Amino acid sequence: RKEVEQDPGPFNVPEGATVAFNCTYSNSASQSFFWYRQDCRKEPKLLMSVYSSGNEDGRFTAQLNRASQYISLLIRDSKLSDSATYLCVVRGGYNQGGKLIFGQGTELSVKP
Amino acid sequence: SQTIHQWPATLVQPVGSPLSLECTVEGTSNPNLYWYRQAAGRGLQLLFYSVGIGQISSEVPQNLSASRPQDRQFILSSKKLLLSDSGFYLCAWDRWDSNNEKLFFGSGTQLSVL
């Protein structure tokens, strides 16, 4: 089983749609969680951190369920500029040296 | 301010040739350093992880090696490249003990092995 697994893509949605990405992680000792965004052949950029209480940044909402080892990202009112690959990232526990592990990414394509 | 330099940006190498990619970090000390590889259309695969000078964790069996001769220098090497080594290589750093857990990436090296 992969350490971090995401929904296989791509997701093709119209402008204005709501889209949800899911991610699961295998190590219950994982410390912290993030969503990154990557544009084609560019370095990934931090989109938001994910907290157990859930957090929202404009049209983006992230949720963490530690019991189920599950992370989600919801994008409301999709824009053309949201087209990118979304990466779920997990910081491993102390037994893993705290390294950051990426999921394989889910590609989003927002169409006019 | 903290910066990370990675070079070269693009590299075309023949099969069997050696490789050396270098990454340096400025503006911080004792960073965690990472080498990731991304094959075309795929996610980021963690290759090497280092928490200090001379401390390298290899994540997957492969044709590559890494070294950290100085605190803020991380080098990815190969003695003989394979076709399967082609990909987008990213160096990154973070500080696990800081309140800001953001991972800082270099701009990447696109390696084509022919």
Judged against a pLDDT cut of 80, whether residue A72 lies above it is answered with yes
Q: How confident is the model over A52-64, as pLDDT tens digits?
A: 888 899 999 999 9
Q: How many angstroms away from the CA of A99 is the closest CA of chain B?
A: 7
What does the pLDDT average to over B77-106? Answer: 85
Q: How confident is the model over B24-54, as pLDDT tens digits?
A: 999 888 899 999 998 877 788 889 999 899 8
For the ranges A88-97, B19-28, B58-67, B94-103, the lowest mean pLDDT is seen at: B94-103
Nearest to A64 by CA among A91, A33, A104, A31: A33
Q: What is the DSSP string of B60-75?
A: S--S-EEEEEETTEEE
Q: A91: which chain B residues are within 8 Å (Cβ-Cβ)?
A: 96, 101
How far is Cα of residue B78 from the mean position of the Cα atoms in its chain?
12
Place of tokens 């990202």: A73
Q: How many angstroms away from the CA of B6 is the closest CA of chain A?
A: 11
Q: Which of A2, A40, A88, A100 to mutate to test the interface with B (most CBs of B within 10 A)?
A: A100
Average pLDDT, chain A: 91
Cβ contact B49–A99 (<8 Å): yes
Identity at A63, one-letter amino acid code:
Q
**Candidate ranges A94-108, B2-16, B32-46; pick with highest mean pLDDT:** B2-16
On whether the CB atoms of residues A71 and A25 are closer than 8 A, the answer is yes
Q: What is the pLDDT confidence band of residue B88, given thresholds at 50, 70 and 90?
A: very high
* Structure confidence at residue B98 (pLDDT): 56
What is the distance between the alpha carbons of residues B88 and A107, in angstroms, rounded to a whole number?
17
Average pLDDT, chain B: 89
